[in-house]
Amino acid sequence: MLKNSYKSGIVTLAGRTNVGKSTLINQIMQTEIAIATHKPQTTRHLIKGVYQDDEGQIIFVDSPGMHQPADRLGHSMRKAASVAIQETDLVVLLVDARSENKIDEVEKQIIKLAVSNDIPLILAINKIDLVAKEKLLPLIQIYIDYADFRSVVPISAKLKDGLDLLLTEIKNNLPEAPALIVDDTYTDQTEKILAAEYIRAEIIEQISDEIPYSVAIRIDQFKEFFNEQNIRRRVQIHATIFVDRDNHKMILLGKKGQQIAAIGKASRIRISEMLDCPCDLMLFIKVSPDWRNKYSKLKELGYQSQDIDL
């Protein structure tokens, strides 16, 4: 009986920057496939996670927070987000529960893109752990007056509150269809991509001001060592951190190289956990002026021509 009503489809998590999209995909997937930080504009590319249960399979797509782009990287992030909103079966619009009682321009654009492509929307009010319950109703009212949402679900991605209901509502609004992914792929994020992203997350967390926006990571070497039983014993990673300017390099290095050492140490611990084996991590810093506006550099770093295929 279950098989007959099996639901499947692609679901894009969209919204302003910093509303908790990556936190939500990680909580649903129960593993860190997308870095989530306290700073805006953390996610730069589309990140897919395959969730399944007895009732269906959902391919979640985490998208970069919509914002007005300031450079070519920003344009590429925005393009990725808008592709993800248009080429999907359902959009979950995430809104921060602390928002003022008005719809942001960026949210209007997301709604417009979805509606003009006939894509149903679900509204998820996130971070409800941070506001008084009475604040939610007026906020929800503004959104439901503005657009047609199939459902409205208040959640706390951080505390995993409301996620079961959100999953149920998503499945209710997906087509009856067989699973799209039949092997055990659960994400398109490779170990290499995740290693680069974990290093970037450490830089975002450890370094204040605007430097994180000017940073990109390239994995130059990812060498695996196996024992006689073909079990991976160790991984050796060399990575280059690109920055815009000389003084950014100095700040990243820190006094006597202490800052980069701290970033390396914390990243190595996180990467080892993800790889489930020890890893050696060598970090290099390179100044690449204005890389965020250079098409070839963006391509090399994987920030161009995104599509939704897994």
Query: Considering beta carbons, is residue 124 or 239 the nearer one to ligand GTP?
Result: 124
Cβ count near 272 (within 10 Å): 16
Instruction: Name which position in 8, 43, 99, 306 contacts ligand GTP (CB under 6 A).
Output: 43
Is residue 306 a contact residue for ligand GTP (CB under 6 A)? no
If binding is defined by CB under 6 A, does position 17 make contact with ligand GTP?
yes
Helical spans, DSSP H, in the chain: 21-29, 72-86, 105-116, 136-146, 163-172, 191-206, 246-253, 258-275, 295-300
Among 12, 23, 76, 99, binds ligand GTP (CB under 6 A): 23
CA 80 from chain centre, in angstroms, equals 12
Applying CB under 6 A, does 254 fall inside the site for ligand GTP? no
Q: Residue 59: exposed, middle, or buried by beta-carbon count in 10 A (0-12, 13-18, 19+)?
A: buried
- Choices 124-132, 210-218, 276-284, 285-293; region in contact with ligand GTP by CB under 6 A: 124-132
Joined together, the tokens standing for residue 164 give 């079961």
187 touches ligand GTP by CB under 6 A = no
- Residues touching ligand GTP: how many (CB under 6 A)? 23
Per-residue string for binding with ligand GTP, 128-167, x by CB under 6 A?
-xx-------------------------xxx---------
Residue with tokens 């070497």: 221
Q: Does 189 bind ligand GTP (CB under 6 A)?
A: no
To Mg ion, the closest distance from the beta carbon of 12 in angstroms equals 13
Q: Are strands 47-53 and 56-62 parallel, antiparallel or unpaired?
A: antiparallel
Could you tell me which residues come within 8 angstroms of residue 220 by beta carbon, excluding any fewer than 6 positions away? 238, 239, 240, 284
Q: Which residues bind ligand GTP (CB under 6 A)?
A: 17-23, 36-38, 40-43, 64-65, 126-127, 129-130, 156-158
